[in-house]
Structures are given as structure tokens and as C-alpha cells.
Amino acid sequence: MRLNKFLAKSGIASRRKADELIQMATTEVNGNICMDPAYDVKETDVVKYDGQKITLVHEKVVIMLHKPTKVITTVKDTHGRRTVLDIVPSKYRLTPVGRLDQDTTGLLLLTNDGDLHQYLSHPSNSVPKDYEAIIEGRMAPAQIQKLARGIYIGDKEYGKAEIVSQDTNKGRTRVIIRLRQGKKREIRRIMYRLKLKLLTLKRIRFGGLVLGDLPENHYRTLTEREIKSLRK
């Protein structure tokens, strides 16, 4: 089995991300740093990642977390800030699927299934994600059309989204925004370019999964049926 696949099936990361990690000299085979993702791992090999021995994980789990604000979407933080893995203790080595920035709440998936992680993360699969944004005022039809075509959001990137619905009450609007790829802080950058004041942002749907009434700061394990729906 290739070393990158071994890391993926050990719950470290997706196979694509494992390539990067291996080339960053994070992985040892039999006591020696190995930077070749294609290295053929044998049954007798001892593989370590970040100094800890890793083995293949046969039980795959997917966790849905309702992430609160001021929590970092990462496995560990060098500044000692609270991370999502401080909320979701597990005997498995879980990795967040994508990111929600520190001030964004809502549905976040964590899994030890490297192949599923790669499928859900890869831009070419265009897995839809819905966000609930509370803004001041209301999006104009011209802004909605512009966003559907794609607008420049800086750093040589374009933001593109579908506005599913708008509901205005007392000068504030609840907007449901659907992304299919997702760049870093994309919705916040979109709102800045459109000169709209964003008050709160929450992810409420990932593929066919809905956050529902799961309370903030709580999590649950997905059922086999729910996991299969993600693969579709």
C-alpha cells in the first residue's frame, strides 16, 4: 500500500493532503524520515506520523458538530486557542472536513475516513453547502445576478454563489447562500465587495445533511444512511 494511502486509511488526512504532509517530513518509516508518498508500506514496517505510531483504521466514523464562535477549525493550535477537537474528544484520529472561520458557527464534519474526506473536500465534486447569513438591509436583484456570475473578491480569486432565499424583517435580512466550492472566508469577502454589512454567519447544510436542531457546542455521530448520502 502506498504511504499516502496508508496515512489516509489511518485517519491522518485525505490522500491528496497526505502527499503534502509526507513531503513536509512529518512521516517516519522504521525510524527514518520518508518523503516519498509512493513508498510501498509493508506489513512489517513501523510508520509514525509526528512521532506517534499509526495503524490502519478499520472502523470509519463521521461526526457532525455544531461549531460555536471563537473555536478554531484545526487539529491543534500553536497559540493554545480552543479547537474543534477540544469539543469532540474521540478515540479516533479525526480531521475536520474543510474549515469554518473563527467567527462562523454551524455544521462542521469531522472524520477518520480519508477517502470520504477527499471526496467531500475536492472542488471538482461541487458538494453544495448552505449558509444562513444575517445582513443589514437586503440584497438587490443586480447584486444577486452579479454573484451568480461570479465577482472578484481579491487575491486573484472570484466568489460565486446562489441566493436560495431572502427574508427581511425590521431592516435585517436572513439570506440563505449556497456555495459549491468555497474559498477561504468567501462569503465574508463577497459581502465586503458588495458593501453589505454581515452580522452573523452559520452553515446549516452540507450536501444532503441538515444541521437541524443540534444545539451549539454539541455533536453527534452520523448513521450509515447519512454517510451514504454524503457519498452520493
What pLDDT does 58 receive? Answer: 80
101 a catalytic residue = yes
* Catalytic entry in 101, 103, 115, 213: 101
**Domain 3-53 in CATH 3.10.290.10:** yes
What is the C-alpha to C-alpha distance for residues 98 and 22, in angstroms, rounded to an integer?
20
Identical topology for domains 62-123+209-231 and 128-206: yes
Which pLDDT score is estimated for 56? 87
Does the domain at residues 62-123+209-231 carry the CATH identifier 3.30.70.580?
A: yes
CATH top-level class for 128-206?
alpha beta
**Residue pLDDT, tens place only, 59-112:** 889 999 999 999 999 888 888 889 999 999 877 788 899 899 999 999 999 998
Quote the percentage of the chain above a pLDDT of 70. Answer: 100
Residue range 128-158, pLDDT digits in tens? 999 999 999 999 999 999 999 999 999 999 9
> Residues 6 or more apart from 138 whose CB is under 8 A from it?
166, 168, 173
Check whether 117 has a pLDDT greater than 90.
no
Q: How far is CA 200 from CA 59, 71, 95, 196, in A?
A: 37, 15, 25, 12
pTM: 0.83
All structural domains of the chain with their residue ranges: 3-53, 62-123+209-231, 128-206
